[in-house]
Amino acid sequence: MSQFKYIARTQNGTKKEGTLEANDKRAALMQIEHMGYVPISVTEGGTLVNSIKKPAVQTRARFQWRRSAELRMNTREVLLFTRELSDLLASGMTLGNALHTLSNRQTGKDQDKVVLALRDEIIQGSSLSEALAKRPKIFATLYISMVRAGEVSGTLVETLESLCDHYERVQEAREKVTMALLYPCIVLVIGVCTIIFCMVFVVPRFTSIFDELGSTLPLPTRILIAMSSGLINYGWAILIVIALMVPAVRNALKTPKGIRWWHKLQLKFPIFKNVITANAFGHFARTLGALLRNGVPVLQALSIAEDTAGNVVIAREINEARSRVTDGATISGPLAAGNVFPPLLTDMLAVGEETGDMSGALQHIARRYDQELDRSVKILTTVLEPILMLVIAVLIGFLAISMLLAVFDLTSGLNVR
């Protein structure tokens, strides 16, 4: 048995030093990991034996840090990473070993490089929240803050599970809205393509027949023929205008003024208003509740909820409420004063403040607006589908009636005996 002196880090990043006896370096490293530490270096007989080759790892880590600014992980990948990391930590594995295990999985995506970089930084002594904070384009402020709170309170596993639940609900709400709009969009695209096909290929054939007969055509038919001729002759110009207008409108909507206008319109548009508000209020309650439940201070939690609101009008109300909370007011009062948050939400929040169970009240609010989102999505699909079908039917009906009017007019003029 030989004696080894070691330097290691705890899961919270605290530096630990000590001595132990083991048969060899590998056995010493295993003992350190069984104690729940991440080994940094091991000394045997006065000679420093690093558990990693520092120059090579540091070089690779610096390369990974430079590359991580360009790497991407979508919400599903972040959710899968969080779920797997939570399961490994819950099984008793140390943070360094858990990340090492995940880094060995080759998916062929940016996720591999991100996990490898996180592992290297944890081994070098960084905390998980510090490593995540270097990648703000991948891990949101909400994610980093909750992980930091979990590290401080020693409940990292529970925090990761809470994050998984949060992101699963957010993803589910997003998919509900997407699926609700998918079928109407398909109907609209097929209808527009059908009309364009008729205008370009069907109407010109009837036009040539009408020209040969030389009869005066009804007004709807003349309008239809003019539209068809304009589409055929100037279709290229229309495409150019659309190609120029789409990016121009998108850029305009990305400006602060454009964003405010668009988000205000979302809260006023009759069909989509209930879906937007139900999703936004449910997300606000879920985010704030998760943060408070994991020990994040109220002001910091409100700041994060403001950043993740998704609507600048709602975010501004949260900001004003946060400034009033700084002055000692409750949260429910300032939110109610802005006339953006509904009375139901603020009343339930006030009850939570009175009973001292804010996170519980926010959970109830989130469930309430999840149910409201389901109803609003069903109403949206129920109303939007027949409206779009009616619009397409009117356009196609105008096309058919215009052609039939001309045919009836021509045939009525024929002297058949």
> DSSP letter string over 233-255?
HHHHHHHHHHHHHHHHHHHHHHS
Give the highest mean pLDDT range of 124-128, 173-177, 261-265, 293-297. Answer: 261-265
The reply to whether 117 and 266 lie within a common domain is no
Q: What is the mean pLDDT of the chain?
A: 79
> Sorting pLDDT into bands at 50, 70 and 90, what band is 119?
confident
The reply to whether 343 and 383 lie within a common domain is yes
pLDDT at 351 > cutoff 70: yes
43-102 pLDDT, tens digit per residue, is 776 444 444 443 334 434 444 444 444 677 888 888 888 888 888 888 888 888 888 888
Supply the pLDDT for residue 55: 38
pLDDT at 232 > cutoff 60: yes
Lowest mean pLDDT among 28-32, 91-95, 189-193, 221-225: 28-32
The reply to whether 123 and 193 lie within a common domain is no
The reply to whether 360 and 397 lie within a common domain is yes
CA angle (83 as vertex; 79, 86 as ends), nearest 5? 135
- The arithmetic mean of pLDDT across residues 99-123, rounded, is 82
47 SS3 class = strand
The reply to whether 397 and 325 lie within a common domain is yes
Count of structural domains, the chain: 3
User: How does 191-228 read in b/e, with b if 16+ C-beta sit within 10 Å?
Assistant: beeebeebbeeebeebbeebeeeeeebbebbeebbeeb
Q: Residue 53 contacts by C-beta under 8 Å, 6 or more apart in sequence?
A: none
Q: Considering the chain, what percentage of its residues have pLDDT values greater than 70?
A: 86
Q: What is the dihedral of CA 333, 334, 340, 344, to 10 degrees?
A: -20
Supply the pLDDT for residue 177: 75
Q: Whole-structure pTM over 0.75, yes or no?
A: no
pLDDT at 329 > cutoff 80: no
Supply the pLDDT for residue 13: 60
Supply the pLDDT for residue 300: 81
Identify the domain boundary among 139, 168, 191: 139
Lowest mean pLDDT among 122-136, 316-330, 385-399: 316-330
User: How does 313-325 read in b/e, with b if 16+ C-beta sit within 10 Å?
Assistant: bbbbbbbbbbeeb
Identify the domain boundary among 139, 163, 192: 139
Decide which of 4 and 9 is more confident. 4
Supply the pLDDT for residue 245: 92
The reply to whether 282 and 312 lie within a common domain is yes
Identify the domain boundary among 87, 112, 139: 139
Q: Residue 63 contacts by C-beta under 8 Å, 6 or more apart in sequence?
A: none
pLDDT at 347 > cutoff 70: yes
Supply the pLDDT for residue 397: 87
The reply to whether 45 and 175 lie within a common domain is no
The reply to whether 268 and 257 lie within a common domain is yes
- The arithmetic mean of pLDDT across residues 313-326, rounded, is 82
The reply to whether 17 and 102 lie within a common domain is no
Calpha distance 288→310 (Å, rounded): 14
| Segments forming the whole domain that contains residue 196 | 141-417
C-beta separation of 285 from 383 below 8 A: no
Task: Give residue for tokens 């169970």.
Answer: 357
CATH number for 260:
1.20.81.30
- The arithmetic mean of pLDDT across residues 193-208, rounded, is 86
Calpha distance 114→24 (Å, rounded): 32
The reply to whether 162 and 130 lie within a common domain is no
Give the highest mean pLDDT range of 41-45, 295-299, 345-349, 377-381. Answer: 345-349
Decide which of 68 and 113 is more confident. 113
Lowest mean pLDDT among 10-24, 157-171, 192-206, 311-325: 10-24
The reply to whether 193 and 168 lie within a common domain is yes
- The arithmetic mean of pLDDT across residues 204-224, rounded, is 81
Task: Give residue for tokens 């000679």.
Answer: 47
The reply to whether 234 and 363 lie within a common domain is yes
